[in-house]
Structure 1
């Protein structure tokens, strides 16, 4: 081997062995570097695995960001350059803005992972692993609250979001489409335990409203809103339903609130949801482990270069 130098003379009294790096071994051999000149501690598999995983999320984040910007621009033009963003709820209920924020976070975090792995930059890798760890802890906190304190979560959602979502139904077309989709998919109406009576809090569906929709509910609450033969949606199917007795209303619309329906659905599919959540958590932990491993390998390589 060309990377060691023999020191003449007698060794110690011990058996022959491999010498220590930069020092004298038992056999009198001083080993300066046992590795060939082109050796690197950085694993190419770990490096490009992190890069490829984050490249996929980088593309997804860019796509999400692009769709959000397009949707927000379209909404901005329809509203003649005015979009209400006065409170945190205005941001949360603005679907296009939520997509923009989520897309930016995914884009930037995955980009730091891509660039950090490709350029072997420990600062970007540390930033990346810290962000992933923060996301992981937040997800675990939400999961614990949802599974351990489901009734508390129900009460919190009803108290914080019911009135604001019901009031904003006609103000934001994206939010309106989302609510209609949720009510149709989960076969519910309204949000809280009051069910379809929640819509009395909306200025268009309130019984004192001068609107033709007074005492009604959105068409997405109707059991049979679509005529199968024609494929047309009867948007008037929920008109006046708030004035009818509950047994009569149940023949026309779904009467239970969506929060309770979603909670029951989640309990019925608990193992599936838990399995998906566990899979996501394990993937996050694996990527964090890979990032920290690559950091350590880069530091070892830097020490080798400085030696």
Structure 2
């Protein structure tokens, strides 16, 4: 009987409250709260790792070359280590806001977190729509804006050079635009008027058989002089198609797989946004309960 509360009812009649308020009840779901925390804790660690690797690579490049050119927007986005640093900072900050917002039940941090996720989602959808609905326009844009910049910077940035070599080997292509292997004439080392021993050549990663099977060594001279040959003659030694078109055709062949992965990522992002907004609503409801 101690759980009953007495108060005055109508006409002064004493009424017993059969449903006393349980003060230790909470509207905030522990499952939602700690699910958001754990997911973001994992991404927080990943962001810190990405930031650390990017900083190490950037400083190593700085010490080895003595300079890092960051004069234009293209210098920034084509600097792989700097892109890793920027991406690491973004992931670190956003996931930290999600971790702390969920753990401390802070609605301001949760709103910031869900808004960032929504912004990322919209940007990804915009890029996906451009890539799938207007592939030719995307090709033209990439060729016009990035071909010259990437080809010119090949020898200046070791990270970018490794990325280009990896892409050319994996996708069996050479150069970027529809000009294919002739794109390398725009590089000062591979230009036919260059005093370099590599003049009129292409990087070894363009070669069909760059690695000698018997010795296992890479023949870095396999692409020398191929710019002087016709497409048919050069095609016996190197891949002649540009990488942008090759990647587009590869994406078309694996369209369903790519679409499935993209859809899965999008659904996961929407689910996490839903969790964040649910937790935010539960916290607001809890605050209004105690304020009443």
Q: Cα distance 1:94–1:111, how it changes in 2: closer, same or farther (>3 A)?
A: same
Shift of residue 305 of structure 1? 1.4
Contact 2:5 2:20 in 1 (8 A): yes
User: Which whole-Å CA distance do the structure 2 matches of 1:301 and 1:277 have between them?
Assistant: 36
Match among 250, 253, 268 for residue 253 of structure 2: 268
Do residues 146 (structure 1) and 131 (structure 2) align? yes
User: Which whole-Å CA distance do the structure 2 matches of 1:285 and 1:89 have between them?
Assistant: 32
Match among 38, 51, 55 for residue 24 of structure 2: 38
- Alignment partner, residue 45 of structure 2: 59
User: Which whole-Å CA distance do the structure 1 matches of 2:260 and 2:20 have between them?
Assistant: 47
**SS of corresponding position for 1:58:** helix
**Aligned ranges 1:282-301 → 2 under 5 Å:** 282-301=267-286
Contact 1:7 1:30 in 2 (8 A): no
**Aligned ranges 1:216-227 → 2 under 5 Å:** 216-227=201-212
Contact 1:241 1:249 in 2 (8 A): yes
Shift of residue 200 of structure 1? 0.6
- Alignment partner, residue 198 of structure 2: 213
- Alignment partner, residue 230 of structure 2: 245
Shift of residue 274 of structure 1? 0.5
Contact 2:58 2:81 in 1 (8 A): yes
Do residues 159 (structure 1) and 113 (structure 2) align? no
Deviations along 1:189-218, one digit per CA (max 9) or x if unpaired, are 000000000001111111111111011000
- Alignment partner, residue 89 of structure 1: 74
User: Which whole-Å CA distance do the structure 1 matches of 2:9 and 2:197 have between them?
Assistant: 105
User: Which whole-Å CA distance do the structure 2 matches of 1:3 and 1:176 have between them?
Assistant: 77
User: Which whole-Å CA distance do the structure 2 matches of 1:9 and 1:130 have between them?
Assistant: 50
| TM-score (normalizing by structure 2) | 0.95
User: Which whole-Å CA distance do the structure 2 matches of 1:3 and 1:244 have between them?
Assistant: 97
RMSD: 1.5
| TM-score (normalizing by structure 1) | 0.91
Note the residue ranges of structure 1 that are not aligned, 5 or more in a row.
Answer: 11-27
**Aligned ranges 1:173-192 → 2 under 5 Å:** 173-192=158-177
Q: Cα distance 1:249–1:35, how it changes in 2: closer, same or farther (>3 A)?
A: farther
Deviations along 1:128-177, one digit per CA (max 9) or x if unpaired, are 00000000000011111110000000000000000010011000000000
- Structure with the higher fraction of residues in helix conformation: 2
User: Which whole-Å CA distance do the structure 1 matches of 2:21 and 2:124 have between them?
Assistant: 44
Tell me the matched-pair count. 288
Shift of residue 36 of structure 1? 1.5
- Structure number with the bigger relative contact order (C-alpha 8 A, sep ≥ 6) is 2
Match among 139, 154, 157 for residue 172 of structure 1: 157
User: Which whole-Å CA distance do the structure 2 matches of 1:239 and 1:274 have between them?
Assistant: 40
Contact 1:3 1:36 in 2 (8 A): no
Contact 2:47 2:92 in 1 (8 A): yes
User: Which whole-Å CA distance do the structure 2 matches of 1:60 and 1:187 have between them?
Assistant: 31
User: Which whole-Å CA distance do the structure 2 matches of 1:3 and 1:236 have between them?
Assistant: 92
Do residues 306 (structure 1) and 285 (structure 2) align? no
Q: Which structure's CA Rg is the greater one?
A: 1
Shift of residue 273 of structure 1? 0.4
Match among 29, 42, 57 for residue 71 of structure 1: 57
**SS of corresponding position for 1:46:** helix
